Structure 1
């Protein structure tokens, strides 16, 4: 998918246009509401957005950004899904599912091997084909402030 998309009768719009991303909205959520992201500085978030392989935003009827997903990829066969969120006031409209579906199945990474980390959204991701990594996967935990995110 490139550009904007919405479901018929839906008041939310999804877009993978990086120019539409509201950096302030992403920063506000990640720095206050995201257990996985509160350790980052604003400069970190801006650098991650600038270096993202792909971003998808969800926008409400007034055009304000209410959800987000970011991916890092080699562009050939592997991608990491990160920073998926929906503003609490806009949950219950399947925006989390739509963000994930748009990111992994609605663009150039459809056939990639995708990975992610989550502490609380296993059912959401399992419904999009994510599974436990199995015995061949290993992870090197982050060091320093990243190792113990604020909960």
Structure 2
């Protein structure tokens, strides 16, 4: 992972890079417009990016929504195919949930295919105390 770095500076996020991934590869994000993705990044409680040290190109991303006190939702975590297998996914999640202002928060997320990654950080299936109302748009089901 030494050829990459993790940074939580929101000014460094490359909207073009995030949009390129979200609009073509993210099964969870195809329904959003570029303007919606930009608004989500701008209003995020925290963003974390992964960048190639030499070129500065953004190769990964994670976003969180939070009340800033005790609860946060982890969203839009990705690593480009070319940078996978380097530990960047773990580094993004670790930086977001364990290394920063949300380290003691209750965290939630949705995933269709990355359960093993998130279990490493203590995520588990909900208990009987958790309820959720799914979105009503067909893109959110």
Give the TM-score normalised by the residue count of structure 1: 0.90
Query: Runs in 1 of length 4+ with deviation above 2 angstroms?
Result: 145-148
Q: How does 1:52-63 map to 2 (within 5 A)?
A: 52-61=44-53, 62-63=55-56
Report the equivalent of 2:22: 30
- Note if 1:15 corresponds to 2:14: no
Q: How does 1:101-120 map to 2 (within 5 A)?
A: 101-120=94-113
Which of 87, 90, 93 is the aligned partner of 1:100?
Answer: 93
Ranges in structure 2 where 5+ consecutive residues have no aligned partner: none
Deviation sequence 1:58-81 (CA, Å, 0-9, x none): 001311000000000000000000
> 1:125 & 1:80 partners in 2: Cα distance?
13
Deviation sequence 1:112-134 (CA, Å, 0-9, x none): 00000000000000001111111
> 1:89 & 1:53 partners in 2: Cα distance?
28
Which of 59, 71, 75 is the aligned partner of 1:78?
Answer: 71
The answer to whether the Cα contact below 8 Å between 1:39 and 1:145 also exists between their aligned partners in 2 is: no
- CA RMSD in angstroms, aligned pairs only: 1.0
Secondary structure, aligned partner of 1:47:
helix
Report the equivalent of 2:139: 146
Give the TM-score normalised by the residue count of structure 2: 0.96
Secondary structure, aligned partner of 1:131:
coil
The answer to whether the Cα contact below 8 Å between 1:58 and 1:95 also exists between their aligned partners in 2 is: yes
Ranges in structure 1 where 5+ consecutive residues have no aligned partner: 1-6
Aligned residues: 140
